[in-house]
Structure 1
Amino acid sequence: MTTRRRLSLLRALAITLVVVILVAPLGWMVLASLKTNVDIYDASKAFVFTPTLDNYTTVLQQANYSRFILNSFWVAAAATFLSLLLGVPAAYAMSRFGMKRSALVVLMARIIPGVSLLVPWYYVFSNMRLVGSFTVLILSHMFVSLPLIVYILMGFFDGLPIELEEAAMVDGLTPIGTFWRICLPLAMGGIATASILSFIFSWNNFMFALVLSGRSTKTLPVAIFDFVGYASIDWGGLMAAATIVTLPIMVIALFTQKYIVSGLTAGATKG
């Protein structure tokens, strides 16, 4: 066996191992969502069992999870839209006008863990009587979504040739018109990437919603805890709810993976 073939075999084994490690918990989650609690605790029925949809019925009907799904979608969509509205012009300005200090602030905002701000946020928003509202959830999600969008789009705008904008202004376009008609259409791939990643973050966010949401604004990740009791855990319902949370994100990631990869590598080969 040649050295190249050995390396190929080793690479294939390493990839297989990584895939198994990543996929195995998801597979167990989906299988457990189709079992009763008795079957989940029975090791002999790990793969051979009688599937049931009772857990999904409990989640979607009895637990009123459709409301929580709508809450999660509304918060994620609103936070993403508002972050794009502010982040796209900010990223363009930082890229074109060399605003290094502002870019450093954005980078610092990405580094600071959001959980460290939960206590001051709760204090401020409680005094404003906003805790438990959609407003505070959207604003808290924007703290992470906005720097993420700016950081990604700066790479895209850095990769756009400045000559295109100069030619457009020679033809009579204003700087704003150049941004709107030239740069923005060319950066649609980056905008799509930033939107996808921002939406995924908001959809999966747990800590912010746990502290700042109310009974009527509870999102799906927080609602999953309803299946965790003091004395027992409804594993079947918990796994069904977790599957419902995970499935939309997996579908989005599957069909938009090329945009995500291009966004994460934007500007990497510049220069």
Structure 2
Amino acid sequence: MNTGKRLVGVYTAYAVFAVIFFGPVLFMLWSSLRRNVDITGSLFDVTSPLTLENFTNLFERFEFGRYIVNSLVVAGGSTLLGLALGAPAAYVVVRRQLTTLGFVTLLARMAPGVLFVLPLFVLSIRIDAPSNTGLNYALLIVAHLIITLPLCIWLLIPFFEDIPISIEESTLIDGASPWQRFRTVVLPLALPGLSVALTLSFVFSWNYFLFALALANDRTLPLTVIAFNFIGQGSNDFGGLMAASTLISVPALLLTIFAQRWLVRGITGGAVK
């Protein structure tokens, strides 16, 4: 009897959490297939007709394909650069026990993004980035390193700590240099951690709004800023906003699904010491 009550309680909790986590997502998908007049008329009218009009309007009103490319360039560039810099940095922090350096990088992640906007905006004007597409892309990628680099470092530190130093020392017999040990021994063993860092860094960078709003020009605007255009004074296109939000979430969702096996191994591996 107690076992039955316990199971009922467990499944009830599962149902509640499912509604909390998946309810907003399902509502977004459903609203993206409804006309704006139906959404504003009755928010939860399940009898309203479904249509793909919101999605077609996105590509008719905006150069949506270009904005997708812009988001991929900025998020992908900052993620790969963050990994390229963060993995060696995390390794050095662990092997040299530079905890102070690691803490300083964490402070940058903890600080609100608005603290960096003004200096980056002044730098953008000084180097004439608003009128140069290549420089603007580079500036946005560097700005998003404020998000991805500390994240990569602190996600990878536990994985490097779990790799015994004796494994690296065994390669000294073959005369391996420190870089060769890091590249051929440490990185393959830390692959689950790299997958976690890559996925989370990409998602955080992909969804970040503030830097692009302040620094991007008309040719480098990402999806997050374009979605902001659907809400304005005097007119609100909720259907278009939901359709844009749906498309914004697709790349991060696909990446998470693709890396799921390594992601689960990486999260559990970094949590158990």
TM-score by length of 1: 0.92
Per-residue CA distance 1:152-185 (angstroms, 9 max, x = gap): 1111111112111011112321222111111112
Distance apart, 1:188 and its partner CA:
1.8
Is 1:85 matched with 2:84?
yes
Superposed, which structure 2 residues align to 1:82-161 within 5 Å?
82-131=81-130, 133-161=136-164
C-alpha separation between the residues in 1 aligned to 2:206 and 2:173?
44
Shift of residue 59, structure 1, vs aligned partner: 0.6
In 1, the alpha carbon distance for the partners of 2:43 and 2:140 equals 44
Structure 1 SS opposite 2:236: coil
Aligned to 1:242: 245
Query: CA shift at 1:131, angstroms?
Result: 4.5
Between 1:138-147 and 1:5-14, the stretch displaced more is: 5-14
**2:213 aligned partner, one-letter code:** L
Mapped partners of 1:241, 1:46: distance in 2? 21
1:124 Cα offset (Å): 3.0
- Answer whether contact 2:34 2:49 (CA < 8 A) is retained: yes
1:186 to 186, 189, 194: 189
Would you say the 8 A contact 2:193–2:267 is kept in 1? Answer: no
Counterpart of 1:57? 56
2: CA distance, partners of 1:245 / 1:59: 12
Count of residues paired in the alignment: 269
| 3-state SS of paired residue (2:51) | coil
Asked whether the 8 Å contact 2:67–2:222 carries over to 1, the reply is yes
Counterpart of 2:246 in 1: which secondary structure? helix
1:239-267 Cα deviation digits (max 9, x unpaired): 11111001222232234334334434444
Q: Structure 2 CA distance, aligned partners of 1:175 and 1:65?
A: 46
Letter in 2 for 1:176: W
The alignment partner of 2:271 has SS state of coil
1:260 and 1:49 map into 2 onto residues whose CA distance is: 39
The aligned counterpart of 1:32 is 31
State the secondary structure of the residue aligned to 1:160.
coil
Whether the aligned pair in 1 keeps the contact of 2:90 and 2:156 (CA below 8 Å) is: yes
2:212 matches 1:209: yes
Alpha-carbon separation, structure 2, partners of 1:268 and 1:122: 38
Distance change in 2, residues 1:268/1:234 (3 Å) = closer
> CA contact under 8 A between 1:152 and 1:266: conserved in structure 2?
no
3-state secondary structure, aligned to 2:34: coil
1:162 is matched with which residue: 145, 165, 171?
165
Unmatched 5+ residue regions in structure 2? none
- In the alignment, the residues of structure 2 paired with residue 143 and residue 59 of structure 1 have an alpha-carbon distance, to the nearest angstrom, of 31
Name the % identity.
37
Give the match's secondary structure for 2:233: coil
Counterpart contact for 1:122–1:131, Cα < 8 Å:
no
Amino acid at match of 1:226: N
Per-residue CA deviations over 1:206-245 (Å, capped at 9, x if unaligned) read 1111111111111001001222232111111111111100
> Which residue of 1 is the match for residue 11 of structure 2?
12
Q: Cα–Cα, structure 1 residues 44 and 112, in superposed 2: closer, same or farther, change >3 Å?
A: closer
CA–CA distance in structure 1, aligned partners of residues 86 and 41 of structure 2: 51
1:60-96 deviations in Å (ceiling 9; x for gaps): 2332111111100011111111111111111111111
Unaligned runs of 5+ residues in structure 1 are none
Distance 1:151 1:174 in 2: 25
Distance in 1, matches of 2:242 and 2:87, equals 38
TM-score by length of 2: 0.91
Contact 1:130 1:136 in 2 (8 A): yes
| CA distances 1:2-47 after superposition (whole Å, capped 9, x unpaired) | 1x43233222212211110121111111111111112213438622
